[in-house]
């Protein structure tokens, strides 16, 4: 549950009011504005493609049915991301899927703190660009092997550039726990990438 005030774009209120007045097209706009974020959460938390599709639909059904209870204490996208996170968490607790696996890491790929990108981009010559694509592919592959909460926090913080307060809103976890999970996730990636990949290959 959101426990603090987070600024939200003024168009959020306009869209919500239009939906509550029966404008289904306005809800379509909400879906288009947030579907990439919801997809990031669902993909990083849920292993099966069919389950992901069903859960994404469930997320928006819940959002539509509870839109009247949205009190603009956060951005609309954060509120919907919270629904997505909780929906996936409930699915995980019910299904108890096996989501653990080997992990890996590259010390120069992972930022130790702050909302810096996971990849540090330098020269843009063709060979360097190809190497960066390969490193990005390896990194994404290894992120998939993290526990679900680590995966989603890494993606939301580093790739979606979300702030700590937004992650607190979405997960319902204390800020200290969010920071601790991010630290452990980055450490896990670093250690395992260095253990499983030869530096010469990086």
Tens of pLDDT along the chain (202 residues)?
444 445 567 789 999 999 999 998 999 999 999 999 999 999 988 888 888 999 999 999 999 999 999 988 889 999 999 999 999 989 888 875 443 332 233 333 333 333 333 333 334 455 555 555 666 777 777 888 888 889 899 889 988 889 999 999 999 999 999 999 999 998 988 887 887 765 544 4
What is the C-alpha separation between 173 and 145, in angstroms, rounded?
Answer: 22
Take residue 174 and report the two structure tokens written for it.
């204390």
φ/ψ of 117, rounded to 5, equals: -65, 155
Go through the domains of the chain in sequence order and give each one's CATH number.
10-95 (1.10.1740.10), 126-201 (1.10.10.10)
Take residue 169 and report the two structure tokens written for it.
């809103």
What is the C-alpha separation between 78 and 80, in angstroms, rounded?
Answer: 5
Residue 79 pLDDT: 95
Number of helical H runs and strand E runs in the chain:
8, 0
What is the C-alpha separation between 54 and 149, in angstroms, rounded?
Answer: 20
Cα dihedral sign, 43-151-79-59: positive
The Cα angle at residue 41 between residues 96 and 50, in degrees rounded to 5: 60
pTM of the model: 0.67
Q: Which residue in 143, 153, 28, 140 sits closest to 88, CA to CA?
A: 153
Which spans in 105-144 are helix H? 126-143
């Amino acid at each position: 549950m959101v426990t603090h005030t987070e600024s939200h774009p003024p168009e959020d209120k306009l869209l919500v009011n239009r939906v509550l007045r029966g404008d289904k097209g306005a809800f379509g706009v909400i879906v288009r504005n947030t579907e990439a974020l919801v997809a990031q959460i669902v993909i990083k938390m849920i292993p099966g493609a069919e389950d992901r599709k069903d859960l994404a639909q469930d997320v928006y059904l819940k959002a539509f049915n509870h839109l009247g209870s949205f009190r603009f204490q956060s951005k609309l996208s954060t509120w919907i991301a919270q629904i997505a996170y909780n929906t996936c968490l409930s699915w995980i607790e019910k299904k108890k899927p096996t989501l653990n696996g080997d992990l890996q890491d590259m010390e120069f790929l992972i930022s130790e703190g702050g909302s810096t990108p996971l990849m540090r981009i330098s020269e843009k010559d063709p060979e360097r660009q190809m190497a960066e694509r390969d490193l990005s592919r390896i990194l994404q592959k290894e992120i998939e092997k993290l526990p679900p909460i680590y995966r989603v926090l890494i993606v939301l913080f580093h790739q979606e550039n979300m702030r700590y307060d937004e992650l607190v809103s979405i997960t319902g976890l204390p800020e200290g726990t969010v920071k601790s999970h991010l630290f452990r996730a980055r450490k896990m990636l670093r250690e395992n990438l260095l253990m499983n990949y030869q530096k010469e290959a990086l």
